[in-house]
């Protein structure tokens, strides 16, 4: 039930961190995978790292700082793969930014990458999935989407909250076409975005499981939602946060 054999899966933001872990695990479970990043050289590097897993890999570069490039990324994948069975919206940006210092430019840029590009990629994939009357879409949200941003800026939290709302809205519309739409909300994950946090700051977070997640632990939740094991699950947001949500 967890097999993704013969599935064509596009993962945005898959040259590093959570996205790269999702791509690697999807290949291990039999999927053909579209690897996306903003730069062609970073995509090529990620594809080389993933080649040891075997399987089919499609490089799909595209700069999502301009959201209008998102449909092109999907169409590139469709041209190479022939169909799209699953989309994982993992591309995103964010930084700890005080609200008092936020500019409209900061706000708009975060929304362009985190929400607008995800919306346009999702829409392009949904058109195809709707025609074939099957598909699964999973977006990487955040614990910040469900309350105060705390560790991240208000722009990041609001953009991820929008992604959660998009998930709920599309899940309701898409269900009758056999398309499932879900999200995963990670807590603190060991990636390059969190590498600069000191041990003291990490301890102060009070994570019940007393550690950050590995990217692979987020990826396993994504793979579950993509698989037939989750065939009756749609419109849901799965928290993968070591229990941190209980302290919010």
pTM flag (> 0.85): yes
Sheet-wide strand order for 86-89: 57-59, 32-35, 8-11, 86-89, 135-140, 179-186, 237-240
Confidence (pLDDT) at 2: 87
CB 156 within 8 A of CB 149: yes
Which residues have a catalytic role annotated? 156
Confidence (pLDDT) at 153: 87
Confidence (pLDDT) at 150: 65
Return the number of other C-beta atoms located less than 10 Å from residue 5's C-beta.
Answer: 9
State yes or no: pLDDT of 248 exceeds 70.
no
> Across the strands, what pairs with 11?
35, 88
pLDDT digits 0-9 by tens, 16-57: 999 999 999 999 999 999 999 999 999 999 999 999 999 999
Q: Which residue has the higher pLDDT, 215 or 145?
A: 215
Of the pLDDT bands very low, low, confident and very high (cuts 50, 70, 90), residue 195 is low
Write the CB contacts of 80 (distance below 8 Å, at least 6 apart in sequence).
34, 58, 60
Of the pLDDT bands very low, low, confident and very high (cuts 50, 70, 90), residue 148 is confident
Residue with tokens 């699950």: 233
Spatial separation of the C-alpha atoms in residues 64 and 138, rounded to whole Å:
18
Confidence (pLDDT) at 118: 98
State yes or no: pLDDT of 196 exceeds 80.
no
| Tokens at 205, concatenated | 């977070």
Q: Give all domains of the chain, ordered by start, each with its CATH number.
A: 8-247 (3.40.50.720)
Average pLDDT over residues 99-112: 95
State yes or no: pLDDT of 102 exceeds 80.
yes
């Amino acid at each position: 039930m967890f097999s993704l054999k013969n599935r064509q899966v596009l993962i945005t933001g898959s040259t590093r961190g959570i996205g790269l872990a999702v791509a690697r695990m999807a290949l291990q479970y039999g999927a053909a995978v579209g690897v996306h990043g903003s730069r062609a050289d970073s995509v090529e590097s990620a594809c080389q790292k993933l080649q040891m897993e075997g399987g089919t890999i499609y490089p799909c570069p595209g700069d999502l700082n301009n959201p209008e490039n998102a449909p092109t990324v999907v169409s590139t994948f469709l041209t190479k793969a022939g169909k799209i069975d699953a989309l994982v919206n993992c591309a995103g940006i964010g930084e700890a930014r005080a609200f008092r210092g936020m500019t409209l430019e900061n706000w708009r840029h975060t929304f362009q990458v985190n929400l607008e590009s995800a919306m346009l990629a999702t829409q392009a994939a949904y058109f195809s999935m709707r025609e074939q009357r099957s598909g699964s879409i999973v977006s990487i949200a955040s614990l910040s989407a469900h309350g105060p941003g705390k560790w991240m800026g208000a722009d990041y939290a609001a953009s991820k909250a929008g992604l959660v709302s998009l998930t709920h809205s599309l899940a309701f519309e898409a269900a009758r076409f056999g398309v499932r739409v879900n999200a995963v909300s990670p807590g603190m994950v060991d990636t390059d975005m969190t590498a600069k946090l000191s041990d003291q700051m990490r301890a102060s977070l009070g994570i019940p499981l007393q550690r950050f997640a590995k990217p692979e632990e987020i990826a396993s939740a994504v793979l579950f939602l993509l698989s037939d094991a989750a065939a009756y699950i749609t419109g849901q947001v799965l928290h993968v946060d070591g229990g941190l949500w209980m302290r919010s």
